[in-house]
Amino acid sequence: MSAGPRKKLMYLNRRAPGGTIYAVEGLEVVLIGAAFDQDVCMAFVGDGVYQLKAGQDTSDSGVKNFSPAYRALGDYDVNRLYVERESLEERGLGVDDLMPLTWEDEDDDWAEKPSIHVVDRAELARLIDAQDVVFNF
């Protein structure tokens, strides 16, 4: 793998977990891309916030519930997940409705730290602006 400068990558998730393959395929890209050791974060806006909802159950729809895989993101060193506050509020959701995702900080005696950061729309716009690359799903 070439050792170019690390890029700031954001995976921007805008769609609900079911109904289309965007969410599951997007997550797969994140997990695959994690091997490239870049500066990665994810953002969840609009119906994308439903991807992080706790207690998802797909048994009636006949598709696999892939939501437990978000809990593995910390193992893949993807530990900044920005969730837009307005998108949560517009859907009657709060951070307590989301899966409690954490990562372990190797440099801090493996302390468990939260991965989810709720940010407002203006802050998210600044974060998007600061990226080298934004992938839309």
Q: Kindly write out the interface string for residues 83-122 of this chain, putting x where it contacts another protein by CB under 8 A and - elsewhere.
A: ----------------------------------------
Footprint (CB under 8 A) of another protein, residues 45-84 = 64-69, 71-72, 75-76
Q: Kindly write out the interface string for residues 1-40 of this chain, putting x where it contacts another protein by CB under 8 A and - elsewhere.
A: ---------------------------x--xx-xx-----
**Backbone torsions φ then ψ of 132, nearest 5 degrees:** -80, -40
Q: Compute how many residues bind another protein; rule: CB under 8 A.
A: 15
Report strand pairing: 102-105 vs 111-114: antiparallel
Contact residues for another protein (CB under 8 A)?
A: 28, 31-32, 34-35, 64-69, 71-72, 75-76
